[in-house]
Structure 1
Amino acid sequence: MGFLGVLLPMIRLYLVGVRVLLYQLFNRSFTLPALPKQNGRVAIVTGGARGMGFEVARRLTELGMHVIIAGNVEEEGLEAVTKIRGQTKEGKVEFLFLDLSSLHSVRQFAQRFKATGLPLHVLVNNAGVMMVPECQTEDGYELQFGLNFLGHFLLTHLLLDTLTHSGHHDNHSRIVNMTSATHYGACLNLDDLQSRSCYSSHGAYAQSKLALVMFTYSLHEQLVGGAVPVSTSAVDPGMVDTDLYQNLCSPAQLLQRPVAKLLFRTPAEGASTALFAAVATELEGVGGCYLYNGQRAASSETSYDQELQAQLWKQSCSLLHDNWRANTNLDRSLIRCDHDIQWQGWYRMFYQGTSVGMPESCVPRFRCGTNVTLWLNGPHPRPEDGIVTREVCGRWNGDCCDYKPPSIKVKACPGNYTVYKLVDPLTCNMAYGTEPRTHFQQRLRLRMDLQRELSHAETAQFTSQIREKLIQMGYPSDITVKMV
């Protein structure tokens, strides 16, 4: 199996490559339409110092954008900035260090960017490595999966709040994930995402690109479900003449060089569909699509498997040490914040997997300790109110409202849900500090549809069973249950 585990992915990828080359032999490269000016808008392009990433960064700058080139080689990034500035007087371009193979670096980058106070309208997840020898990231993940997919997965989540605030329902922010036709030959092995049982550089690369396509679809569904003004697309640039092919086997490299001159796209041609996805008016509000040569195309059958998408999402969150979790019982577009996450954006609060329904006023002492984690002082805002600030009180000694931690910002969002932001990161643990015990002074109402009327004995037995179940769930032992 070890030999076949290496050989079969290689064969599948080279067959896909032949199919792409035949298409490029008989079809011209996509020609970009006139793109609208982007003055005042901000974009981040990972891997923007060379190849297609450089072309994307250069063209976005020409359109008037403020472009941040994110890369892991500072000298190369600064050189790209100088080159772009020499070619255009439009827009603005700068470099920020980002090593996508380091989750710590990804978090640092997000913090540095947010500290600038800039909005973010376009995120192009372009950086990647291809068919490298077996090695691991500093976090212990297989390099291609860790850098191509997992680093971008985390980066996107860390910047999603900024993208959301920068978008409008008639002018979405956009996320562009650069993938590859190699995903057609990929197998997603959820039992071995790190390719430890049998490493194939071809298989690992294809898997990382398939993961990006599936992430695009999952994220799109969640954004649409939450009425979030952000669109996301997967872009296949075709076979492009870049340095990515330096890790091909020797025979393939010898063949690649003359073929590249004849049939490969140039970096500028390869960047055209990504630019189209990033700013074209034709794609305003359009997301969840796979774009190839400027057109929507069908990705692999596997990529549409929603169960696999959900499992990949869950495992990816787990690999990030559970810092980000998609809620599976409620609105999946809302992301749960754990106690060890710094509160730098807007979050829907959850407690033990349940959406926190914040009451509209502080409460007396006898109501402390309910399963609602925090009490909100003042009414919830309406969408037209924008952002309001409220004080909160939790389960503390004395009256709940005697303790006033740093305020919480609240805003109502389209879709009839409310999001919260604790001003001081140190109070994040308060959101999950309350024990799930409820001392209700008011009645709880539970409606059940019964097919027949119960006898007195059946009623007594039924209410007793409900009471025992509630006590097992953490409700007070003196709770009473009545059927009316």
Structure 2
Amino acid sequence: MADDWTTDDVQDLSGSTIVVTGANSGLGYEATRAFARKGGHVVMACRSVERGREAAGEIRDELPAASLSVHECDLADLDSVRAFAEEFEATYPSLHVLCNNAGVMAIPRAETEQGFERQFGVNHLGHFALTGLLLDRLIGTGGETRVVTHSSNVHERGEIDFDDLNSVERYDPWDAYAQSKLANLLFAYELDRRLRDAGLDVKSVACHPGYADTDLQRRGPEMRGSKPRLFAMKASNALFAQSAAVGALPLLYAATHPGIEGGQYVGPGGFRNLRGTPEVQRSSERSYDREDARRLWAVSEELTGVRYGFDRSLPGRVGRLAGRVTDGRPG
């Protein structure tokens, strides 16, 4: 465990550009606040620009010198993801850290704009597409850059149902959430392997927050209109959860700690990995299944139309030299 590691230990980030999805609330908001305090420029990628601007204003009230910009990025719509990536490339010459943070949890079944089950579509496919579309910028920045993907310890109950990825035949909110969080880890580890094979100085790291008090837990009961479940969730958060600021520490550690290696998994090291200061941990055995990871990668490329274009015969060269990332639409 990184004893007493806090936001004070985040290194100076002056000159760094950091993208945080879901930056307007919860863990994303706390991470944005911490990055800004250390001098980084944070691009807040938010589904709602209005809520993003309100969050940015709150941070600037506390940190007047905070360098923040707000851009629309709805992970439930691949057209929005592409538009964000295009705007980012046209605006920012570098990208040092991409934080794949936004997500939805245990909601009633719904679909994204492209017809994917919403938890799988937002939590995994949206971030898969975003990472691929920003990969050239990560590579071209120079020096070490990172992709940090937020998972959950709920991934341990997850299975990838390749015959029913969109939960059409059977839908359980928690099973769908667990599948999406397992997909996050399979993606993060496979991405790191491919980056290493290509000889690129980009690290892919995964993390989880433990049990943190955020709006994420409340949205499912609210969408169901279940007041008893909402009350129980609020009571549980009040009694057992750590704050969102502490829950964001693993993300900050994964994004900034100089000792982090690609392919590692960071989470709180306290009671049952639910709370405490961050440490490098091991995720479930299923999350290291390379065959599932390769299969999920191929399916994700097909569903999103985003192909990363790695060419392993050209070490250290990708993108423009090896067949630039495409953003074709799924057929």
TM-score range, shorter chain: 0.7 to 0.9
The answer for the alignment partner of 1:360 in structure 2 is: none
Letter matched to residue 31 of structure 2: V
Equivalent in 47, 71, 84 of residue 22 of structure 2: 47
Deviation at 1:86, TM superposition (A): 1.5
1:346 aligns with 2:329: no
**Structure-2 separation of matches of 1:211 and 1:289:** 15
* Structure with greater helix percent: 2
SS in 2 for 1:257: helix
Letter matched to residue 163 of structure 2: D
The answer for the alignment partner of 1:310 in structure 2 is: 294
* Consecutive unaligned residues in structure 2, runs of 5 or more: 269-277, 327-331
Give the TM-score of the pair, scaled to structure 2.
0.87
**Structure-1 separation of matches of 2:192 and 2:322:** 18
Equivalent in 53, 56, 62 of residue 37 of structure 2: 62
Return the structure number with greater relative CO, CA threshold 8 A, min gap 6.
2
From the superposition, tell whether residues 256 and 297 of structure 1 become closer, same or farther in structure 2 (CA, over 3 Å).
same
1:148 aligns with 2:123: yes
What fraction of aligned residue pairs are identical, expressed as a percent? 36
Q: After superposition, what is the alpha-carbon deviation per residue over 1:277-303, rounded to whole angstroms, capped at 9, x for unaligned? A: 1112232xx110111111111111111
**Structure-2 separation of matches of 1:132 and 1:50:** 18
The answer for the alignment partner of 1:193 in structure 2 is: 165
**Structure-2 separation of matches of 1:346 and 1:83:** 40
Q: After superposition, what is the alpha-carbon deviation per residue over 1:380-423, rounded to whole angstroms, capped at 9, x for unaligned? A: xxxxxxxxxxxxxxxxxxxxxxxxxxxxxxxxxxxxxxxx89xx
Deviation at 1:346, TM superposition (A): 2.4
- Deviating runs (4+, > 4 A) in structure 1? 248-252, 325-335
Letter matched to residue 211 of structure 2: M
Q: After superposition, what is the alpha-carbon deviation per residue over 1:153-198, rounded to whole angstroms, capped at 9, x for unaligned? A: 0000010110111131xxx111110110110000111111111110
Q: How many residues in Structure 1 have an aligned counterpart in Structure 2?
A: 310
From the superposition, tell whether residues 333 and 196 of structure 1 become closer, same or farther in structure 2 (CA, over 3 Å).
farther
**Structure-2 separation of matches of 1:160 and 1:327:** 11
Query: How do residues 352-431 of structure 1 correspond to structure 2 at under 5 angstroms?
Result: none
The answer for the alignment partner of 1:133 in structure 2 is: 108
1:265 aligns with 2:242: yes
The answer for the alignment partner of 1:278 in structure 2 is: 255
Deviation at 1:252, TM superposition (A): 4.5
Letter matched to residue 55 of structure 1: E
Letter matched to residue 104 of structure 1: D
The answer for the alignment partner of 1:179 in structure 2 is: 151
**Structure-2 separation of matches of 1:53 and 1:279:** 15
**Contact persistence 1:39–1:91 (CA under 8 A):** no
SS in 1 for 2:251: helix
**Contact persistence 1:291–1:297 (CA under 8 A):** yes
From the superposition, tell whether residues 274 and 86 of structure 1 become closer, same or farther in structure 2 (CA, over 3 Å).
same
Deviation at 1:241, TM superposition (A): 0.7
The answer for the alignment partner of 1:225 in structure 2 is: 197
The answer for the alignment partner of 1:114 in structure 2 is: 89
**Structure-2 separation of matches of 1:347 and 1:185:** 40
**Structure-2 separation of matches of 1:334 and 1:193:** 33
Deviation at 1:320, TM superposition (A): 1.8
The answer for the alignment partner of 2:273 in structure 1 is: none
**Structure-1 separation of matches of 2:4 and 2:229:** 24
**Contact persistence 1:29–1:265 (CA under 8 A):** no
**Contact persistence 1:135–1:142 (CA under 8 A):** yes
Letter matched to residue 16 of structure 2: R
Whose Rg is larger? 1
Equivalent in 166, 175, 178 of residue 203 of structure 1: 175
Deviation at 1:90, TM superposition (A): 3.7
Query: How do residues 81-120 of structure 1 correspond to structure 2 at under 5 angstroms?
Result: 81-120=56-95
From the superposition, tell whether residues 187 and 313 of structure 1 become closer, same or farther in structure 2 (CA, over 3 Å).
same
The answer for the alignment partner of 2:216 in structure 1 is: 244
Letter matched to residue 236 of structure 2: V
**Contact persistence 1:137–1:146 (CA under 8 A):** yes
Equivalent in 303, 307, 328 of residue 324 of structure 1: 307
**Structure-1 separation of matches of 2:312 and 2:201:** 23
**Contact persistence 1:62–1:89 (CA under 8 A):** no
SS in 2 for 1:282: coil
The answer for the alignment partner of 1:436 in structure 2 is: none
From the superposition, tell whether residues 33 and 77 of structure 1 become closer, same or farther in structure 2 (CA, over 3 Å).
closer
